[in-house]
Amino acid sequence: MDVLATVMEQGRLLVGTSSPRNHQVKTYQKIFCCVTAFLVILLLPYIHIGVIHLKFWVPNKTQVDREHCTCSCFDTVYKGSYEKPGNVGYKHMYFNATHQTFKIWLFTLAFVLVFFECLKHLLSLWFQSRLRWTMLVVFISDIFPHYYSWWSTFNYYNDDFYEQFYHQLFFSITELLATVVVVCLCDSQVEITTSKVLVVVSISCVHLVVGGLDQFISQVFLDQGKLFQRVRNIGFLIPDFIHIFIPLCSFYRKKDGKECTRFQCLCFVLLIFIGVCVGRFLLK
* pLDDT for the residue 88: 87
In a 13 Å sphere around the CA of 43, the CA atoms on its Cβ side amount to 7
Q: How far apart are CA 217 and CA 280, in angstroms?
A: 14
Are the CB atoms for 30 and 123 separated by under 8 Å?
Answer: no
Are the CB atoms for 75 and 96 separated by under 8 Å?
Answer: yes
Q: How far apart are CA 139 and CA 266, in angstroms?
A: 27
Q: How far apart are CA 156 and CA 227, in angstroms?
A: 21
Are the CB atoms for 73 and 88 separated by under 8 Å?
Answer: no
Q: What's the pTM value of the predicted model, to 2 decimals?
A: 0.85
Per-residue pLDDT of the chain (284 residues; tens, 9 = 90+): 555 555 555 555 544 444 444 567 788 888 999 999 999 999 999 999 999 888 888 888 888 888 888 888 899 999 998 888 888 888 888 899 999 999 999 999 999 999 999 999 999 999 999 999 999 999 999 999 999 999 999 999 999 999 888 888 999 999 999 999 999 999 999 999 888 999 999 999 999 888 777 776 666 666 666 777 777 788 888 999 999 999 988 888 765 556 677 888 888 889 899 988 888 776 66
First to last CA, the chain: 40
* pLDDT for the residue 190: 93
Q: How far apart are CA 37 and CA 31, in angstroms?
A: 10
Q: How far apart are CA 6 and CA 284, in angstroms?
A: 46
CA–CA distances in Å: residue 192 to residues 118, 132, 133, 154, 255: 19, 11, 13, 35, 8
* pLDDT for the residue 278: 87
φ/ψ of 131, rounded to 5, equals -80, 125
CA 51, 57, 60, 62 torsion: positive or negative?
A: negative
